[in-house]
Amino acid sequence: MVVSDPGAGQGATTSLSSSPAPVPVEKAPVRVIATMVGARLGLMTALFTPIVAGMTLKVQTLVPAADVAGTLGAVISMGAFAAMLFDPVFGRLSDRTVGRFGRRRPWLVAGALGLLASLGLIAAAPNTVVLGLGWFLAQALGNAAVAAHTATLADQIPTWQRGKVSGMIGIAQQAASLGAAYSAGFLGANMLLLFLVPGTISFGLVLVFALVLPDKAIARRPRGEGGLRTALKTFWVNPRKHPDFAFAWVSRFLVVLAMFMFVTFRLLYLQQDLHLPKAEAASTLATGVLIYTLTLMVAGQAAGWLSDRLGRRKVFIWASAIVFGVGTYMLSTASSTTGFYWAEAVIGMGFGIYVAVDLALVVDVLPNPDDTAKDLGVFNIAVAAPQALAPGLSAALLAAGGGGYDLMLAVAAGIALLGALTILPVKKVR
């Protein structure tokens, strides 16, 4: 892996392209799309397994029951902070990586391998300090692969095909929640297998994508880059110069915040609000996520296809927030597993519509084709930051609501609706 030296002379770049790869216009090969989707499924399964249930089960082996919620929120927030910090950093490094292996491939492979090693550390953690360190490293290194992977959508997929592919990636990402839930159901009794099996599968799928990916080397960047100012710019896109990007960023931040306010405490919701024993709660969670994923897949594919056909993105994000709000209201009134399953179906439909067009909309409003991975890394702060904030906000709302989930779910629905409103000012995308 070689990262470009901003001060290097031109003589070192004679074997490389003199400019970044052009925006793709031809249809992407099926093998690239298929392995791209598979790699996303693998990465997200490895990262979601701890969030969906694995970390809850691990924490319950390390601390008393009364301390589980607080410890879980603190550990998950540490990982989310790592993702928020390192996604744009690794994205910028990927944009500026040169060498015969390309600019995305080295980070895909190294990141997936680092994620696997970190998950092993989590599984073996003897205390919460090591657990927090393991999750911090998992998110930091895993996001090296995630940042490079997200950039391949812009690198390899033409604009007119992005809605469909974005929908497929979104579905794969959400299907990872299903894999995570079933991992907890089948492997929850063995912490080592619970974390290492998804991590190993993830590494294998990413490796296949890296071998198939037509990743091209780029020229070294011009002189004058480097220093503190350049480093700080890694985390910044001027909202005045790029208002569409800014509005899209805020919209995603709010929608993801609403989703993770519940996802982080989903298993505890079943145990505390529906009063299910741990084993039954894990089984119910797996079934609920299965229902959620199936409805998400159907809604996502339909919305992605229709979005490309109509050439519209914003209306689908608006519709998704409304459906998501209805689903969270259904959760607040659920008194049985049947009510929980119906709510999961509606939430899956709403989020399926959202993920089908969200990534396509984001790629369409990127400010600079030379900084694709960096800018997508900045955008992914809108995914990581809510994960850091959601546990604390949810815990505070649960306390304010007397331990019940009604207040928390109502606030989540309102935040999702606000996220939909924020996308309306975007001008570049209909």
Q: Quick one: how far is CA 18 from the chain centroid? A: 33
The answer to whether 12 and 220 are in contact (CB under 8 A) is yes
Q: What is the CA radius of gyration of the chain?
A: 21
Q: How confident is the model at residue 13 (pLDDT cuts 50, 70, 90)?
A: very low
- How far is 277 from 263, CA to CA, in rounded Å? 19
CATH architecture of the domain formed by 28-214+238-422: Up-down Bundle (1.20)
Could you tell me if 181 and 52 are in contact, meaning their C-beta atoms sit under 8 angstroms apart? Answer: yes
pLDDT of residue 403: 66
pLDDT of residue 428: 65
Give the mean pLDDT of the chain.
79
For the range 236-245, what are the long-range contacts, defined as Cβ-Cβ under 8 Å and sequence gap of 24 or more?
A: 236/378, 237/367, 237/375, 237/378, 241/367, 242/365, 242/367, 243/425, 243/427, 244/365, 244/426, 244/427, 244/428, 244/429, 245/365, 245/366, 245/367, 245/375, 245/379
Retrieve residue 317's tokens. 């994000």
Residue whose C-alpha is closest to residue 354's, from 424, 304, 312, 308: 304
The whole-number pLDDT of residue 16 equals 39
Rounded CA-CA distance 370/21 in Å is 9
Checking if the pLDDT of 180 tops 70, the result is yes
The pLDDT of residue 110 is 95
Q: Could you read off the pLDDT of 69-122 as tens digits, one per residue? A: 778 878 887 887 888 788 778 877 887 787 778 889 999 999 999 999 999 999
Q: Answer yes or no: is pLDDT of 22 > 70.
A: no
Higher pLDDT, 244 or 12: 244
Higher pLDDT, 12 or 348: 348
Entry pTM: 0.68
Under the banding of pLDDT at 50, 70 and 90, the label for residue 133 is very high
> pLDDT band at 6, cuts 50/70/90?
very low
Other CB atoms closer than 10 Å to residue 129's CB: what's the count?
Answer: 10
> In this predicted structure, which of 58-62, 214-218, 223-227 has the lowest mean pLDDT?
223-227
The proportion of the chain whose per-residue pLDDT surpasses 90, expressed as a percent, equals 20
Cβ-Cβ contacts under 8 Å for 220 (sequence gap 6 or more):
4, 5, 6, 8, 10, 12, 13, 16, 98
257-272 average pLDDT score: 80
Whether the pLDDT of residue 9 is over 70: the answer is no
Q: Where are the domains of the chain?
A: 28-214+238-422
User: Quick one: pLDDT at residue 52?
Assistant: 75
